[in-house]
Every structure is written in structure tokens, then in C-alpha cells.
Amino acid sequence: MEDISLDIRLQSLYSAISYRYEDHDLIWVIGDDALSYLQGQITQDLVKQTPWEDRQAFALEPKGHVDALLSVKKINDKCFLLGVDAGFGPELLERLKRFKIRIKADLIEDKGSRLYLFNLDDTHKLQTVSGLYQDYILFYLSKILHRSKYHFDLETVPDRPSQMSANKLWSGARVYEILIPNSGASIDIEDGMRLAIDSFVNEFAIIDKETFDLARICYGIPKMGYEITDKVLPASLGINDKTVDYAKGCYTGQELVARLDARGNNVPFALTTVVIEKFYTDRLEKDQKSFIDDESIENVRRNMDAGEIKKDYRIFSNDKEIGRITSLSASKITPGLQLALAFVKRDIKPGESVDIIFQSAGSTAPPILYGQGILSQIPVVNCFGAELKEIPS
């Protein structure tokens, strides 16, 4: 294989203007107390948030562990749209209900998608999709409000600003996102306003799931059910600077977040990336003489090539276990190279060479050495250009 730098290999995958829809679970929070209620439930300061602005935030359990990583869109002080990875909406809804006591606000479950726009650097086109989206949301709201006992005049909703900011989780890259509801208001999916958005993005290239997952891993963006489980501390994910407002008042789980911040966020394990460039089909055995179970190795290799990950894939450095892999890119996207997200002990720094080892839980069989890699910084490579800071009117 021609020796091409990692930067060039990854950047070449994302050079075009492109898009992707990802399924998302949504929750509308509508009512007179919507702002004050949510202000006590999530880590961002919603008072500072402007209408139509999107922010990423955590919902935490009382002891400070992560319940959900969510997107928060503020329509106005009486209406918010929350988005979370598909399949985790019901859990988030139940979590919010537990703390909803004598609150004048409705929680309305919905389905939809998150639209990602990559490398779109045309200010006119960004303004166009922004306007199409505002029209669609206001039309959708006119229907969804009938499901709430709390109402407000849609004419009081400010116009969407001409400025459109990228999602900060992508480390300043030119990646824009919008939450698109599509089921809860009994609106025909073929409605003209939604079709207008689809028609707009269809002129761009579509990014498939494997290529999108590679970008997500490259930028260290955690995913529910993978990096985010019920025992993860927000500081372990390395995105508190993009999801937590330390100056805001009290919210559920704040005590541990503030205490860890005061101590430098020194958590036992931290999320990092691993660049895997050497692969093996050998089984690690002390005497190196036993026969290799080719079928078992092939199953492991097949699963890992496809980016299918289990807790059984561990990371070793100098024969000591230092962490475990949580997400893995599919090898077909970058032959001879895979990227992984992993929780690694905090004292292990980027540049460290590591072994990737598989062993079934509870098995007495020797472990399988899958490959070798190097711990990397986040993002591994800036695959996309810098975001446009302002879109002129």
C-alpha cells in the first residue's frame, strides 16, 4: 500500500459537501415553567441561550453520573426541543418525569432525526436551509401545541437569526446540525415544508453509516450505549467545556461536577482515541506452542472489521491492562487502519503504544491479540474545515 499520511487519508473521505440523517428520539417541553424546570435538570444555562440556538448538555443523575447527552433547542422561554440518540428517548422522558413536581409544563414524546451538514461553507445556502427549517418547525409547532394544555402565540417566537453555529462537540469543525421532528404532530412526512429540506440536501453527497461513525470516533464524540452508560462521569468524556456551564445555578448532579472541576477533573479513566495500524491473527500464549482456534479468531476479526464492539476488547501497555474499547470504525472505510474510542487510565498519555486484545468474558481460553495501535489526541485529524463564525444577513 502506498504510504499516505493519516491526515490525507482521513481528509480525503470528507472533502465534499455532504450530509447524513441519523434517527433521534425527541421530547418537547412546553409550558410557562419550561425554562425554570429545565434549568434545574441539565448542565447548560438556558437563560443565556438565545431563541433557535442549539446547545449540547448532560442530564445527570443526583450522584453526578451521566443519564444522557442531549441536544437542546430553545424556541423561546416556553418551548424547548430535546434530542437524544435513538432508543434512549423513553429513558430520558422517565428521568425528566421523576423531577417534574407541580410544574406548569408538558413533556411530549416525539420521533425524528438529526440532520448533519458537513463542509457547507456557502453562506447563502446556510441561510436557505436555516429559513426552511424555521418555517417547518413553526408549522410543526402549530400542530404539536394541540397536544399540550399550555399554549403560546407563535407570532411571539423571534425569527431565527442569520448566524448559524456549528455543533461544538465537533471541535470547531464545519459541521452543522438541526433536529427535525417528523411524527408527533400527525404531519404527513411528505409535507411540502419537509420535502423542501430534503430537496435542499439531496444536491449534496450522502455519508454512509460507517463513514459517519469514523468521523464521530475521530472527533471523540461519545454515543449513548457505547461511551455513555449509567456509570460514566461527565468529566471522563472530555467534553465538559462544551456541555457544562459552571457559572449557572443549581441543577441535578451539580455537586459532583463542581467538586471534580475544582480538583482538575482527575477521573480514573478518560476517553481517548486509538489509531490501530498493525493487525494480527495470533493468540497470546506464554509458550506460543498451542494450536490456534482459527474459527474463533475469524469471528473476532469479522466483528471488529465491521466495527462491532464488545466490552471484551481490552487495551494493554507493557503487559498491563490500561483500558477498554467502546467504539471502533469499520476497516473497509480505511483498509489497514482502524480508529477506536476507548476509556484509558488517566496517567497514560497520547503517543503510547498499546496492544488490542480480545478475550471472551469468563473464558479460560488464551486471549487473542487483535492488533497494535497508538493512543492519539482528540480530534485525531481535523477532517472538516473550520466553522463559519457568522452568516451575514
At 95, the pLDDT band (50, 70, 90 cuts) reads very high
| Rounded-to-integer distance, Cα 66 and Cα 257, Å | 10
Q: Are residues 80 and 139 in the same domain?
A: yes
Chain centre distance of CA 304: 21
Q: The pTM is what?
A: 0.90
Q: Does 253 fall in a domain?
A: no
Instruction: With a cut of 90, say whether residue 364 has pLDDT above it.
Output: no
Q: Are residues 105 and 216 in the same domain?
A: yes
Instruction: With a cut of 70, say whether residue 98 has pLDDT above it.
Output: yes
| Rounded-to-integer distance, Cα 205 and Cα 27, Å | 30
β-bridge mates for residue 110, sequence order: 26
Q: How many other CB atoms sit within 10 Å of the CB of residue 192?
A: 11
At residue 225, the 3 state secondary structure works out as: coil
CATH assignment at residue 233: 3.30.1360.120
* Structural domain range at position 371: 269-376
Report yes or no: 275 and 374 within 8 Å, Cβ to Cβ.
yes
Q: Are residues 103 and 225 in the same domain?
A: yes
Q: Does 391 fall in a domain?
A: no
Average pLDDT of the residues in 205-217 = 94
| Rounded-to-integer distance, Cα 203 and Cα 42, Å | 37
**pLDDT tens, residue by residue, 221-279:** 999 999 998 889 999 999 999 999 999 989 999 999 999 988 888 899 999 999 998 77
Report yes or no: 354 and 373 within 8 Å, Cβ to Cβ.
yes
Query: Residue 232 phi/psi, 5° resolution?
Result: -90, 135
Distances (CA, A) of 80 to 33, 50, 77, 162: 11, 11, 8, 20
CATH assignment at residue 339: 2.40.30.110
β-bridge mates for residue 64, sequence order: none
Report yes or no: 159 and 134 within 8 Å, Cβ to Cβ.
yes
Position with higher pLDDT, 44 vs 10: 44
User: Nearest 5 degrees, angle CA 129-CA 133-CA 135?
Assistant: 120
Distances (CA, A) of 231 to 50, 68, 87, 117, 355: 32, 11, 18, 32, 25
Distances (CA, A) of 128 to 52, 199, 200: 15, 12, 9
Q: Does 249 fall in a domain?
A: no
pLDDT for the residue 284: 45
pLDDT for the residue 393: 32
Q: Are residues 278 and 236 in the same domain?
A: no
Q: How many other CB atoms sit within 10 Å of the CB of residue 2?
A: 3
Q: Which helix (H) or strand (E) holds 179?
A: strand 175-181
Q: Are residues 207 and 321 in the same domain?
A: no
Which of 218-227, 276-285, 316-325, 370-379 is the least confident region?
276-285
Instruction: With a cut of 70, say whether residue 144 has pLDDT above it.
Output: yes
Q: What is the mean pLDDT of the chain?
A: 86
Query: What percentage of residues in the chain have a pLDDT greater than 70?
Result: 84
| Rounded-to-integer distance, Cα 150 and Cα 37, Å | 14
Report yes or no: 368 and 296 within 8 Å, Cβ to Cβ.
yes
Q: Are residues 338 and 219 in the same domain?
A: no
Task: Provide the residue type at 227 as one letter.
Answer: E
**Cell numbers at 365, concatenated:** 481460553
Q: Does 97 fall in a domain?
A: yes
Number of domains in the chain: 2
Q: Does 259 fall in a domain?
A: no
Instruction: With a cut of 70, say whether residue 389 has pLDDT above it.
Output: no
Q: Does 383 fall in a domain?
A: no
Average pLDDT of the residues in 61-90 = 96
Q: Are residues 305 and 170 in the same domain?
A: no
Q: Are residues 281 and 137 in the same domain?
A: no
Q: Are residues 122 and 204 in the same domain?
A: yes
Q: Does 393 fall in a domain?
A: no
Q: Does 215 fall in a domain?
A: yes
**Cell numbers at 17, concatenated:** 459537501
